[in-house]
Amino acid sequence: MNQTNLGEFTEYFIKTLSGISHTKINELSLSVLYMLLGFFVSTTLSTIPGQTGDWGIIGAAIIVTFYERISQQTYPLMITKKLNKILINNINYIKIGILYGLFVDAFKLGS
């Protein structure tokens, strides 16, 4: 029996949805992993230099420089190579995790 256009469309739609769902979950899990890595880095950045008290300004300057360089690489008009785009996005997720971790530490100190 011949398959109708509706049947072919349904098969194609189901295959496409299954492919998309696997890809998105993989990207989501990697982004969460990189954000947790950034959270760990922020905890390290806020506790180790803070023990002596004189590294606060230098640490803040390093963090701001890191943030600005990553933003400069992440948000241009076009990223030419896919590998560079994936690498920059992963570093951007780490950056987001660092920012989240620093906010959490600030709220812990403020309460």
Asked if residue 69 belongs to a domain, the reply is yes
User: What's the average model confidence in pLDDT over 55-75?
Assistant: 77
Range of the domain at 77: 30-110
**Top-confidence residue, 60 or 22:** 60
Q: Please, are residues 71 and 53 in contact by the beta-carbon 8 Å criterion? A: no
Kindly tell me if the per-residue pLDDT of 110 is higher than 70: yes
Contact 31, 91 (CB under 8 A): no
Shortest CA distance to 98 belongs to which of 108, 86, 110, 106?
Answer: 106
Quote the tokens at residue 78: 């076009």
Share of the chain above pLDDT 70, in %: 73
Q: Report the 3 state secondary structure along 30-90.
A: HHHHHHHHHHHHHHHHHHCHHHCCCCHHHHHHHHHHHHHHHHHHHCCCCCCCHHHHHHHHH
Instruction: Answer whether residue 17 is part of any domain.
Output: no
Report yes or no on 67 lying in a domain.
yes
Q: Which residue has the tokens 């300057």?
A: 61
Q: Which residue has the higher pLDDT, 51 or 45?
A: 45
Our count of domains for the chain comes to 1
Tell me what pLDDT residue 77 has. 57
pTM listed for this prediction: 0.63
Residue 7 lies in a domain: no
- CA-to-CA distance for 91 and 48, rounded, in angstroms? 22
Question: Is residue 13 assigned to a domain?
Answer: no
| 6 domain residue, yes or no | no
> Per-residue pLDDT tens for 14-31?
777 666 656 566 777 888
pLDDT tens-digit map of 69-90: 877 777 765 656 665 677 778 8
Domain assignment present for 8 = no
Mean pLDDT of the chain, nearest integer: 77
Q: Does residue 2 lie within any of the structural domains? A: no
